[in-house]
Amino acid sequence: MPRLDHLFDYRIPAATAAEAVVGARVKVPLRVAGRVADGWIVDVADTSDAPGELSPLDRVVSTAPVLAPEVWRLARTVADRNAGVASDVLRIAVPKRQARVEQRWLAAERTEPAAVEAPGDEVADALLAGRRVATLPTTHLVEVGGQWVGGWAADVATTAAAVAAAGRSVIVAVPDRRDLDQLEAALCAGPAAALVLRIDASRAPAARYRAHLAALEPGPHVLIGNRSAVYAPAAELGAIVVWEEADPFHQEPLAPYAGTRDVALIRQEQSGAGLLLLSSSRSSTVQRLVELGWVESWEPPRGRPEVVLTPDDGRGARIPSAAYRAAQQGLTSGPVLVQVAKPGDAALRALRAGEAPPPIDAGRTAHELGRAFPGVPVVVADGDHVHDAVEGGPRLVIATRGAEPRAPGGYRAVLLLDGARMLLRESLWVAEDCLRWWSSAAMLAAPDAPVHLVGVTGDVATALATWRSADFAARQLRDRRELRFPPAVRLAAATGPVRAVEELVDAWAAVGADLLTRAPEERGERAVVRFPTGAGRRVAAVAKEALLKHGSARRPKPPAPPPPVLRVRFDPHEPF
């Protein structure tokens, strides 16, 4: 509740003084219907400025200091920036308590962290100096510990080990489980294996809580996870690494909706740790930070995929003859990857039943290629058919974007189909998204293997072929400045009762925000405003005031239906 989004002072009874440590979970009385609420201790002092007599703590739930001071400060800042409530951020940052796990942790003897010896690393040196760096990774697969992983994972493992060898902790946030598995494999094959703590929210509650408690111990640690990892407690934090910061999986679906990149930037500034933004292609958001001088742009490692821009050859075939020949040649020595736009294998089922195939999808492509290359195994990889890796040897792998499995040593050819269709998707970020999808697939190719981008021309195709995504991002940013679109400006969306939204839009206009769009909804309306980045604090403060006013309004009593709730979201990824 916004009206309770502030600190409360309570008297610590003498009997619990030793247990009431900063970061501990507590139960506290609220003067609202005699409720007892959950809370954390964020500070202990001898005196209080609060008027009147203080109510005593109800009880200390546990002496485990699960809320680190730096995490509380981060949560408060993230909430204020997004007109949110700090307790909502803490629900993301601090896992739910697992009593048995906690009791065993409190009773366990503490040991000194293992020493790490690792070779020097230029990126690690920059991060240890508190610098912010954006760059691209190694562009081919790497074998580590008997597994083939993306070059980016090997790069991060090398940098993390070097930071840990200096006695500093590292936080690495990646988009999804597949990336996390690769990263864990690369780290566990290196010198920092004993320091790895996996803290992603997809783990079993007990395992995640166990890792969170371990992160509270003296470091160094290498903390890896998805978007919530940026909130992890970390002793002597030396570096924060974000892989593929523009991936939609880094968008937080829970209020106050703060994405990984933004939280990482805040934490870097508060902690003084280094920040590495590593990605398969440069986003316009990171390019803006580079042009502001806030982030350094480093040249990527030498070498790049061999991208061939392949026009449609006018025969009406799904695969032009040049790409077909590349696939044919590649299959003589190993697997070939074909990336397509639409998931599913409905076409395969229809064709097997003797029916006409539906519109093009992964299944129809598999059928066509299966007929073109008889006797070659065909693997379909999409949301319904998940393959993290495939075996070596000749085989066709038909995959939708983001579902491409890895192949030993890399694919002997990569065909990127449906590119023109992908570019038709309605999105503010469609060109950058396509470049990222294609770049990720290209990095699965073996060294010197051809990557055919079929039927796409223009700047985005040139950026892929030349591997100069930073130049493309700079042009995108220039166009967005002229149009006053993100990331040149920030956005805020308000949804709720018509009157409340209208009042908020008027209040926003008074602090420099202008209306971008307004549309009716089932029980109210939705408005989107844009504002200069420098006006963010004022716009957030106005939104918070409106939320407090709306939340304090009297509600109709049952059986009358509750009115729509006013909601505010800053920086919506897809505002329209």
Q: What is the pLDDT of residue 537?
A: 96
Could you tell me which of 38, 571, 575, 576 has the C-alpha nearest to residue 252? Answer: 571
The DSSP 8-state label assigned to residue 32 in this structure reads S
- Asked if 428 and 416 touch (Cβ cutoff 8 Å), the reply is no
- Asked if 494 and 515 touch (Cβ cutoff 8 Å), the reply is no
Domains observed in the chain: 1-63 (3.40.1440.60), 106-280 (3.40.50.300), 306-466 (3.40.50.300), 490-570 (3.30.70.1710)
Q: What is the pLDDT of residue 34?
A: 72
Per-residue pLDDT reduced to its tens digit, 177-199:
999 999 999 999 999 999 999 99
Q: What is the pLDDT of residue 4?
A: 82
The tokens describing 485, both together, are 């679109």
| DSSP result, 299-349 | PPPS---EEEEE---SS--SS-HHHHHHHHHHTTTS-EEEEESS---HHHH
Peptide bond into 562 cis (omega under 30): no
The DSSP 8-state label assigned to residue 445 in this structure reads B
Peptide bond into 256 cis (omega under 30): yes
Residue where the block lists tokens 């939340």: 551
Q: What is the pLDDT of residue 345?
A: 46
Residue where the block lists tokens 């996996």: 198
Length of the chain: 576
SS (HEC) of 343-358: CCCHHHHHHHCCCCCC
Q: What is the pLDDT of residue 352?
A: 42
Q: What is the pLDDT of residue 353?
A: 43
Helix axes 469-483, 284-291, angle to 10 degrees: 90
Residue spans of the chain under pLDDT 70? 1, 32-33, 316, 343-368, 370, 554-560
Could you tell me which of 197, 208, 194 has the C-alpha nearest to residue 113? Answer: 194
Q: What is the pLDDT of residue 554?
A: 65
Cα–Cα dist 139/130, whole Å: 26
Which amino acid makes up residue 419?
Answer: G
- Asked if 407 and 390 touch (Cβ cutoff 8 Å), the reply is yes
Q: Is 557 helix (H, G, I), strand (E, B) or coil?
A: coil
- Asked if 22 and 43 touch (Cβ cutoff 8 Å), the reply is yes
Q: What is the pLDDT of residue 108?
A: 93
- Asked if 131 and 137 touch (Cβ cutoff 8 Å), the reply is no
Residues 6+ apart with CB under 8 A from 495: 501, 521, 524, 525, 526, 564, 566, 567, 568, 569
Helix H or strand E encompassing 162 = helix 151-165
- Asked if 564 and 496 touch (Cβ cutoff 8 Å), the reply is yes
Residues 6+ apart with CB under 8 A from 6: none
Q: What is the pLDDT of residue 112?
A: 80
The tokens describing 178, both together, are 């597949």
Q: What is the pLDDT of residue 212?
A: 97
Q: What is the pLDDT of residue 365?
A: 63
